[in-house]
Amino acid sequence: MRDQILAELRPRVQKLAARRPPGLAVVLVGHDPGSEIYVRNKIKACADLGIYSEKITPNETISTGDLLGIVQGLNERREIDGILVQMPLPKQIDSRRILVSVNPDKDVDGFHPMNIGNLVAGIPGPRACTPAGIMELLRRYEIPVQGQKAVVVGRSDIVGKPIALLLLHQNATVTICHSKTVNLEEECRRADILVAAMGRPAFLKGDAIKPGATVIDVGMNRLPDGKVIGDVDPEGMRANAAAFTPVPGGVGPLTVAMLMSNTVAAAERHLCSA
């Protein structure tokens, strides 16, 4: 499905390139191994599509003020349509100030409070990439959402809250669960669509899955032996779910594809209004 989405973006990029290619700037602070892999995948996707990309790697001791200066400089550059500040940032940096400093129209991660507000109100705008990818997956596999009971386990600003809102906009009945939820497994067993995004390896077992449910496993947890596993026990998921996303190789590649989609859409807006 990732390849299908990227193939659909290619002619849009080629059309824009007659004036200038879309531009994405990725800011990577420090040497977090996971972040370095994510950024490498994003830069590669840009190159494959013909999107201009820049990777900016400030010293990991950079201050909040200096990083704000870098973001402001990117805000002012007309050839840069999207700005992505890779999380997590080093502890000395005020991450919230950095995220808020990105021009909302260049916020291809969909994390700016203005874009979150647009999501709440149902106003078009950049959507967080992982939730947007999940909705594309449900749409393209023709999995019904309207009228279905959806349970989201996890309440992060990056996945849990935005996917709950996107499902709600598609007329699902949505329950958000978290670490303080009473009778969590019972809540999960009610779900026609179960989204697991709590970051705990194999936390949900097969008996938490309603037979025939669709399970979206967003978890990417690396075990001591190097194996990557999701938030749902894979054997229980295979035994009970009618449809599910594997880990690795399920939601992750879609996240990169939706980042490319957000970048192309931003370039279209910018060049149309130029």
Residue 44 bears catalytic tag? no
Which residue in the list 81, 105, 107, 109 is annotated as catalytic?
109
**What DSSP assignment string belongs to 162-223?**
HHHHHHHHTT-EEEEE-TT-TTHHHHHHT-SEEEE-S--TT-B-GGGS-TT-EEEE---EE-
Domain total of the chain: 2
Residues 6+ apart with CB under 8 A from 232: 194, 196, 202, 203, 204, 209, 215, 217, 219, 244
147 and 246 share one domain: yes
180 catalytic per annotation: no
The CATH code of the domain that includes 236 is 3.40.50.720
Same-domain pairing of 162 and 63: no
| Spatial CA neighbour of 108 closest among 269, 260, 273, 272 | 260
- Is 55 an annotated catalytic residue? no
Q: Which of 42, 106, 161, 210 is catalytic?
A: 42
Residues 7 and 86 placed together within one structural domain of the fold: yes
pLDDT tens for each residue of the chain, 274 residues long: 899 999 999 999 999 999 999 999 999 998 887 788 889 999 999 999 999 999 999 999 999 999 999 999 999 999 999 999 998 899 999 999 999 999 999 999 999 999 999 999 999 999 999 999 999 999 999 999 999 999 999 999 999 999 999 999 999 999 999 999 999 999 999 999 999 999 999 999 999 999 999 999 999 888 899 898 999 999 999 999 999 999 999 999 999 999 999 999 999 999 987 6
Same domain, 168 and 74: no
Q: Is residue 269 part of a domain?
A: no
Q: Any idea what the CATH number is for the domain that residue 71 is in?
A: 3.40.50.10860
| Residues, the chain | 274
Active-site option among 81, 86, 105, 148: 86
What range does the domain containing 67 cover? 2-105
* Statement to judge: residues 24 and 97 lie in one domain: yes
Residues 10 and 211: their CA atoms lie apart, in Å, by 39
